[in-house]
Amino acid sequence: MISIMQQLLRRKAITLSLTMALFIFFPFLAGANERNSACNIDGIIPQTKNIEIMPVALSGQEMPEYVIVYHTEDLIPNGGVIVLKHTTECQGWGVVFRELYEGYRLKILDVGKLLGDQREQIAIGSHEGSGSFLSFFILGGDSRKIGTVLDHMEEPFFQGGLKIKEGDLYVHAASQGTIFQWDGTKFTESPYIQQPDLSHAKLDDFVVHYSIINDKVVANYPHGTILSLRKGQEVHFVRENYGATERILYMGPPDWDPSLSMITIIPNGYDWDNAYEIYVKEQ
Protein backbone atom coordinates (compact mmCIF):
# COMPACT_ATOMS: atom_id res chain seq x y z
CA MET A 1 0.00 0.00 0.00
CA ILE A 2 1.35 3.40 -0.93
CA SER A 3 1.74 5.56 2.15
CA ILE A 4 0.44 9.13 2.41
CA MET A 5 4.04 10.31 2.33
CA GLN A 6 4.74 8.45 -0.90
CA GLN A 7 1.61 9.94 -2.45
CA LEU A 8 2.81 13.43 -1.70
CA LEU A 9 6.41 12.90 -2.75
CA ARG A 10 5.28 11.57 -6.14
CA ARG A 11 3.72 14.96 -6.93
CA LYS A 12 5.88 16.95 -9.33
CA ALA A 13 4.59 20.33 -8.13
CA ILE A 14 5.53 20.10 -4.43
CA THR A 15 7.39 23.23 -3.36
CA LEU A 16 10.55 23.21 -1.26
CA SER A 17 8.75 24.57 1.80
CA LEU A 18 6.03 21.94 1.48
CA THR A 19 8.59 19.17 1.09
CA MET A 20 10.42 20.32 4.23
CA ALA A 21 7.14 20.38 6.15
CA LEU A 22 6.37 16.85 5.00
CA PHE A 23 9.71 15.53 6.23
CA ILE A 24 8.85 16.98 9.64
CA PHE A 25 5.41 15.42 9.26
CA PHE A 26 6.72 11.98 8.22
CA PRO A 27 7.53 10.35 11.58
CA PHE A 28 3.99 10.76 12.82
CA LEU A 29 2.24 9.45 9.72
CA ALA A 30 3.55 5.95 10.33
CA GLY A 31 1.59 5.83 13.59
CA ALA A 32 -1.84 6.28 12.01
CA ASN A 33 -4.40 3.85 13.40
CA GLU A 34 -7.20 2.29 11.34
CA ARG A 35 -9.68 1.68 14.17
CA ASN A 36 -12.13 4.21 12.72
CA SER A 37 -12.45 6.45 9.68
CA ALA A 38 -11.05 9.49 11.48
CA CYS A 39 -7.88 7.55 12.29
CA ASN A 40 -7.44 6.13 8.78
CA ILE A 41 -5.57 8.83 6.91
CA ASP A 42 -4.29 6.69 4.04
CA GLY A 43 -5.42 8.17 0.73
CA ILE A 44 -6.82 11.42 2.12
CA ILE A 45 -4.48 13.61 0.08
CA PRO A 46 -6.44 14.79 -3.00
CA GLN A 47 -5.06 14.27 -6.49
CA THR A 48 -4.22 17.89 -7.30
CA LYS A 49 -1.02 19.92 -7.56
CA ASN A 50 -2.66 22.93 -5.86
CA ILE A 51 -2.03 21.96 -2.27
CA GLU A 52 -0.60 23.68 0.80
CA ILE A 53 0.22 22.17 4.17
CA MET A 54 1.04 24.13 7.31
CA PRO A 55 1.52 23.33 11.00
CA VAL A 56 -0.82 25.53 13.05
CA ALA A 57 -1.35 25.44 16.83
CA LEU A 58 -5.14 25.51 16.51
CA SER A 59 -5.68 23.94 19.93
CA GLY A 60 -2.70 25.71 21.50
CA GLN A 61 -0.99 22.46 22.43
CA GLU A 62 2.72 21.76 22.12
CA MET A 63 2.25 19.54 19.08
CA PRO A 64 0.44 21.59 16.41
CA GLU A 65 -2.25 20.42 14.05
CA TYR A 66 -1.49 20.14 10.34
CA VAL A 67 -3.80 22.05 8.02
CA ILE A 68 -4.06 20.88 4.40
CA VAL A 69 -5.68 23.31 1.93
CA TYR A 70 -6.21 22.43 -1.73
CA HIS A 71 -8.29 23.06 -4.83
CA THR A 72 -8.83 21.33 -8.14
CA GLU A 73 -8.49 22.81 -11.63
CA ASP A 74 -11.89 21.69 -12.87
CA LEU A 75 -14.19 23.98 -14.85
CA ILE A 76 -15.95 24.49 -11.54
CA PRO A 77 -13.09 24.22 -9.02
CA ASN A 78 -13.52 22.39 -5.77
CA GLY A 79 -11.66 23.51 -2.68
CA GLY A 80 -11.13 21.59 0.48
CA VAL A 81 -9.61 21.71 3.94
CA ILE A 82 -8.34 18.81 6.04
CA VAL A 83 -6.96 19.13 9.57
CA LEU A 84 -4.87 16.36 11.09
CA LYS A 85 -4.30 16.11 14.84
CA HIS A 86 -2.23 13.75 16.96
CA THR A 87 -4.72 12.12 19.35
CA THR A 88 -4.72 9.40 21.98
CA GLU A 89 -7.85 7.94 20.38
CA CYS A 90 -5.99 7.30 17.15
CA GLN A 91 -2.69 6.59 18.89
CA GLY A 92 -1.27 8.81 16.20
CA TRP A 93 -2.63 11.17 13.57
CA GLY A 94 -6.30 11.43 12.73
CA VAL A 95 -8.71 13.70 10.85
CA VAL A 96 -10.43 16.22 13.13
CA PHE A 97 -11.84 18.54 10.46
CA ARG A 98 -12.67 17.98 6.81
CA GLU A 99 -14.80 20.22 4.58
CA LEU A 100 -15.38 20.71 0.84
CA TYR A 101 -16.11 24.10 -0.75
CA GLU A 102 -17.51 23.80 -4.26
CA GLY A 103 -16.58 26.61 -6.62
CA TYR A 104 -13.63 28.00 -4.62
CA ARG A 105 -9.90 27.97 -5.32
CA LEU A 106 -8.94 27.88 -1.69
CA LYS A 107 -5.56 29.02 -0.39
CA ILE A 108 -3.97 29.94 2.92
CA LEU A 109 -4.23 33.69 3.49
CA ASP A 110 -2.67 34.27 6.92
CA VAL A 111 -2.04 32.72 10.34
CA GLY A 112 -2.13 34.49 13.69
CA LYS A 113 -3.60 34.68 17.17
CA LEU A 114 -7.06 36.28 17.20
CA LEU A 115 -8.60 34.81 20.36
CA GLY A 116 -6.33 36.43 22.94
CA ASP A 117 -4.39 33.34 24.05
CA GLN A 118 -1.72 30.91 22.83
CA ARG A 119 -4.00 29.30 20.23
CA GLU A 120 -3.47 30.12 16.57
CA GLN A 121 -6.10 30.59 13.88
CA ILE A 122 -5.71 30.28 10.14
CA ALA A 123 -7.44 32.37 7.46
CA ILE A 124 -8.42 30.41 4.36
CA GLY A 125 -10.15 31.86 1.33
CA SER A 126 -10.39 32.51 -2.36
CA HIS A 127 -10.46 35.40 -4.82
CA GLU A 128 -13.07 34.86 -7.52
CA GLY A 129 -14.57 36.74 -10.46
CA SER A 130 -13.54 39.85 -12.38
CA GLY A 131 -14.00 41.90 -9.20
CA SER A 132 -11.51 39.72 -7.30
CA PHE A 133 -14.15 39.04 -4.65
CA LEU A 134 -12.60 37.68 -1.47
CA SER A 135 -14.48 34.96 0.37
CA PHE A 136 -12.86 33.59 3.51
CA PHE A 137 -13.29 31.80 6.80
CA ILE A 138 -11.21 31.54 9.97
CA LEU A 139 -10.45 28.09 11.29
CA GLY A 140 -9.70 27.65 14.97
CA GLY A 141 -10.65 25.65 18.02
CA ASP A 142 -9.41 24.14 21.25
CA SER A 143 -8.38 20.75 22.61
CA ARG A 144 -11.92 19.41 22.16
CA LYS A 145 -12.96 20.60 18.70
CA ILE A 146 -11.62 22.25 15.55
CA GLY A 147 -14.02 24.31 13.45
CA THR A 148 -14.91 27.61 11.84
CA VAL A 149 -14.85 30.59 14.21
CA LEU A 150 -15.67 33.23 11.56
CA ASP A 151 -17.31 32.64 8.18
CA HIS A 152 -17.48 35.11 5.28
CA MET A 153 -17.73 32.64 2.41
CA GLU A 154 -21.18 33.92 1.44
CA GLU A 155 -20.43 37.61 2.06
CA PRO A 156 -17.40 38.37 -0.13
CA PHE A 157 -15.35 41.56 -0.16
CA PHE A 158 -14.94 43.35 -3.50
CA GLN A 159 -11.25 43.56 -4.47
CA GLY A 160 -10.65 42.12 -1.05
CA GLY A 161 -7.52 41.71 1.00
CA LEU A 162 -6.89 40.25 4.44
CA LYS A 163 -4.25 40.36 7.14
CA ILE A 164 -3.92 39.45 10.82
CA LYS A 165 -2.19 42.23 12.73
CA GLU A 166 -1.61 42.62 16.48
CA GLY A 167 -4.38 40.22 17.38
CA ASP A 168 -7.03 41.71 15.07
CA LEU A 169 -8.28 40.71 11.64
CA TYR A 170 -8.27 43.41 8.95
CA VAL A 171 -10.34 42.74 5.84
CA HIS A 172 -10.67 45.42 3.20
CA ALA A 173 -12.72 45.99 0.07
CA ALA A 174 -10.81 48.43 -2.13
CA SER A 175 -9.94 51.45 0.09
CA GLN A 176 -12.06 50.56 3.11
CA GLY A 177 -12.65 47.61 5.30
CA THR A 178 -13.68 45.99 8.55
CA ILE A 179 -11.69 45.23 11.67
CA PHE A 180 -12.79 42.00 13.38
CA GLN A 181 -11.93 41.92 17.10
CA TRP A 182 -12.60 39.11 19.57
CA ASP A 183 -14.44 40.26 22.71
CA GLY A 184 -14.17 36.96 24.55
CA THR A 185 -17.31 35.37 23.14
CA LYS A 186 -17.67 36.64 19.56
CA PHE A 187 -16.09 38.83 16.89
CA THR A 188 -17.15 42.47 16.82
CA GLU A 189 -16.85 44.61 13.69
CA SER A 190 -15.72 48.19 13.19
CA PRO A 191 -15.03 50.08 9.95
CA TYR A 192 -11.71 51.48 8.86
CA ILE A 193 -10.31 53.22 5.81
CA GLN A 194 -7.16 51.79 4.29
CA GLN A 195 -4.98 54.77 3.49
CA PRO A 196 -1.80 54.83 1.45
CA ASP A 197 1.47 55.33 3.27
CA LEU A 198 2.31 58.98 2.65
CA SER A 199 5.34 59.02 4.92
CA HIS A 200 7.58 58.89 1.86
CA ALA A 201 5.50 61.26 -0.28
CA LYS A 202 7.32 64.33 -1.56
CA LEU A 203 6.11 67.83 -0.84
CA ASP A 204 5.34 68.47 -4.51
CA ASP A 205 3.46 65.21 -5.06
CA PHE A 206 -0.22 65.40 -5.95
CA VAL A 207 -2.59 64.03 -3.31
CA VAL A 208 -6.18 63.49 -4.43
CA HIS A 209 -8.52 63.53 -1.42
CA TYR A 210 -11.90 62.09 -2.35
CA SER A 211 -15.18 60.92 -0.86
CA ILE A 212 -18.11 59.04 -2.36
CA ILE A 213 -21.39 60.72 -1.41
CA ASN A 214 -24.71 59.55 -2.86
CA ASP A 215 -22.75 57.37 -5.30
CA LYS A 216 -20.85 60.39 -6.66
CA VAL A 217 -17.15 61.13 -6.28
CA VAL A 218 -16.32 64.44 -4.57
CA ALA A 219 -12.64 65.39 -4.74
CA ASN A 220 -10.28 68.29 -4.16
CA TYR A 221 -9.49 68.27 -7.89
CA PRO A 222 -12.47 68.73 -10.26
CA HIS A 223 -13.48 65.99 -12.63
CA GLY A 224 -11.37 66.23 -15.80
CA THR A 225 -8.38 67.97 -14.19
CA ILE A 226 -5.05 67.51 -15.97
CA LEU A 227 -2.11 67.10 -13.60
CA SER A 228 1.30 67.94 -15.05
CA LEU A 229 3.95 65.75 -13.48
CA ARG A 230 7.64 66.48 -13.50
CA LYS A 231 10.09 63.61 -13.27
CA GLY A 232 9.88 62.03 -9.83
CA GLN A 233 6.45 63.39 -8.92
CA GLU A 234 3.66 60.98 -8.05
CA VAL A 235 -0.12 60.99 -7.59
CA HIS A 236 -1.64 59.56 -4.39
CA PHE A 237 -5.31 58.85 -3.66
CA VAL A 238 -6.73 59.24 -0.14
CA ARG A 239 -10.27 58.12 0.65
CA GLU A 240 -11.94 60.45 3.18
CA ASN A 241 -15.20 58.73 4.07
CA TYR A 242 -16.62 55.28 4.71
CA GLY A 243 -19.44 54.07 2.47
CA ALA A 244 -19.78 52.77 -1.07
CA THR A 245 -16.81 50.84 -2.40
CA GLU A 246 -14.90 51.96 -5.46
CA ARG A 247 -12.50 50.80 -8.11
CA ILE A 248 -9.50 52.87 -9.24
CA LEU A 249 -8.29 52.13 -12.75
CA TYR A 250 -5.04 53.39 -14.21
CA MET A 251 -5.85 53.52 -17.89
CA GLY A 252 -4.17 54.41 -21.13
CA PRO A 253 -4.53 57.68 -23.04
CA PRO A 254 -7.96 59.01 -24.00
CA ASP A 255 -8.84 59.12 -27.68
CA TRP A 256 -8.60 62.89 -27.80
CA ASP A 257 -5.01 63.20 -26.47
CA PRO A 258 -2.47 60.38 -26.70
CA SER A 259 -0.01 62.30 -24.48
CA LEU A 260 -2.23 61.85 -21.41
CA SER A 261 -2.85 58.96 -19.05
CA MET A 262 -6.27 58.59 -17.47
CA ILE A 263 -7.08 57.60 -13.88
CA THR A 264 -10.69 56.69 -13.13
CA ILE A 265 -12.51 56.21 -9.82
CA ILE A 266 -15.65 54.11 -10.33
CA PRO A 267 -18.24 54.17 -7.52
CA ASN A 268 -19.59 50.78 -6.46
CA GLY A 269 -17.00 49.18 -8.69
CA TYR A 270 -19.08 49.33 -11.88
CA ASP A 271 -21.04 52.62 -11.89
CA TRP A 272 -19.45 54.13 -14.99
CA ASP A 273 -22.16 56.81 -15.25
CA ASN A 274 -20.78 58.42 -12.09
CA ALA A 275 -17.11 57.70 -12.77
CA TYR A 276 -14.61 60.40 -11.85
CA GLU A 277 -11.69 60.99 -14.19
CA ILE A 278 -8.47 62.92 -13.94
CA TYR A 279 -5.56 62.96 -16.38
CA VAL A 280 -1.82 62.88 -15.95
CA LYS A 281 0.62 64.50 -18.32
CA GLU A 282 4.31 63.83 -17.87
CA GLN A 283 6.53 66.79 -18.64
Three-state secondary-structure class, residue 232:
coil
Say whether pLDDT at 237 is over 80.
Answer: yes
Regarding whether 189 and 240 lie in a shared domain, the answer is no
**Full DSSP string of 141-200:** E-SS-EEEEEEEEEEEETTEEEEEETTEEEEEETTEEEEEEE-SSSEEEEEEE-----TT
**How far apart are the C-alpha atoms of 223 and 217, rounded to whole Å?**
9
Residue 83 has a pLDDT of 96
Regarding whether 213 and 189 lie in a shared domain, the answer is no
What is the reported pTM?
A: 0.79
Domain residues for 184? 4-193
Residue 5 has a pLDDT of 39
Structural domain includes residue 199: no
- Position 36 confidence tier, pLDDT thresholds 50, 70, 90: low
State the total domains in the chain.
2
Regarding whether 63 and 113 lie in a shared domain, the answer is yes
Structural domain includes residue 109: yes
Domain boundary among 134, 166, 193: 193
Bridge partners of residue 77, in order along the sequence: none
Structural domain includes residue 210: yes
Regarding whether 97 and 187 lie in a shared domain, the answer is yes
Domain boundary among 139, 170, 193: 193
**How far apart are the C-alpha atoms of 180 and 170, rounded to whole Å?**
6
Structural domain includes residue 153: yes
- Position 206 confidence tier, pLDDT thresholds 50, 70, 90: very high
The separation between CA 223 and the C-alpha centre of its own chain, rounded to angstroms, equals: 33
Structural domain includes residue 149: yes
- Position 76 confidence tier, pLDDT thresholds 50, 70, 90: confident
If one compares 13 and 279, the residue with the highest pLDDT of the two is: 279
Structural domain includes residue 200: no
Convert the pLDDT of each residue in 156-172 to its tens digit: 999 899 999 999 999 99
**Stretch among 21-35, 70-84, 184-198, 229-243 having the lowest mean pLDDT:** 21-35
Rounded mean pLDDT, 30-53? 71
Domain boundary among 126, 158, 193: 193
Regarding whether 189 and 217 lie in a shared domain, the answer is no
